[in-house]
Amino acid sequence: MNIFVIMKRTFDTEEKIAVSNGQIDESGAEFIINPYDEYAIEEAITLRDAHGGEVTVVTVGEEEAEKELRTALAMGADKAVLIDSEDVDELDQFTTATLLATYLKGQEFDIILGGNVAVDGGSGQVGPRVAELLDIAQVTTITNLEIDGTTATIVRDVEGDQETVEVSLPILVTAQQGLNEPRYPSLPGIMKAKKKPLETLDLDDLDIDEDDVEAKTKTIEIFLPPQKQAGKVLEGELNDQVKELVSLLKSEAKVI
């Protein structure tokens, strides 16, 4: 079984984000594999162990992303591919999905896995966009996956409930929390990862021009949410508290 995982390098979820000159300040920041992508990597490894084949992890980024790819290899993936985006001035979901789909069109795959969302942007667009560009079926927010031959039976999150669907391979799925428990890289895995293949491709390798992946969206402004103000404790008779609360909601909170 040929299994691919699309992965993103994101800020550590414990990182305190700072904004400087209208841009996110990345100096000294720690980066990790997007946590939802870890579920995808774990599921890919489990599928390979059950059905045979190999797992290839693919990301779009610059040289720094090799660290996260090596972590995926240490978890148990077989190969890694870095699509170097250094020549692209601005990236958005369209850019990333187009680069990934262009690479994947030249590969043989049975299933592609990715995270449901990235913890930095949270758009959840890249996986579905890749599936559309490849013209294959897609199922998002999955919490269980079983494959029998060329048929996948999938449980996915829906509003307050679950949905079970059956679909034929090839397919792209995006992983939701609860799908599995991602493993930590072991010491032997870390040592083996150093010898596993990590291929770097640029736009020329993909036979694609920078204009073809030009971002379709533009960021107007980046800012941190306002700091929370101290709460107020209302005192006095209940009727007086209600009157004061309504007044504050109108004059200060401006929600009514």
* DSSP characters over 22-68: TEE--TT--EEE-HHHHHHHHHHHHHHHHH--EEEEEEEE-GGGHHH
The CA radius of gyration of the chain, in Å to the nearest whole number, is: 22
* pLDDT score, position 24: 80
**Domain residue extents for the chain:** 2-213, 227-256
Specify whether the CB–CB gap between 33 and 68 falls below 8 A: yes
pLDDT tens per residue across all 256 residues of the chain:
999 999 999 989 887 878 877 778 777 788 999 999 999 999 999 999 999 999 999 999 999 999 999 999 999 999 999 999 998 988 999 999 999 999 999 999 999 999 999 998 889 999 999 999 999 999 999 999 999 999 999 999 998 899 999 999 999 999 999 999 999 999 999 999 999 999 999 999 999 998 899 999 988 888 888 877 778 888 889 998 999 999 988 888 778 8
Give dist(CA 125, CA 81) in Å, integer.
Answer: 21
Q: How far apart are CA 170 and CA 176, in angstroms?
A: 20
Contacts of 23 (CB under 8 A, 6+ apart): 222
Angle ∠(76,77,82) on CA atoms, nearest 5: 140
What fold does the segment set 2-213 form as a domain? Rossmann fold (3.40.50)
Strand partners, 2: 54
User: Cα angle vertex 111, ends 110, 113, to 5°?
Assistant: 160
**Cα–Cα distance between 81 and 197 in angstroms, integer?**
8
Average pLDDT, the chain: 93
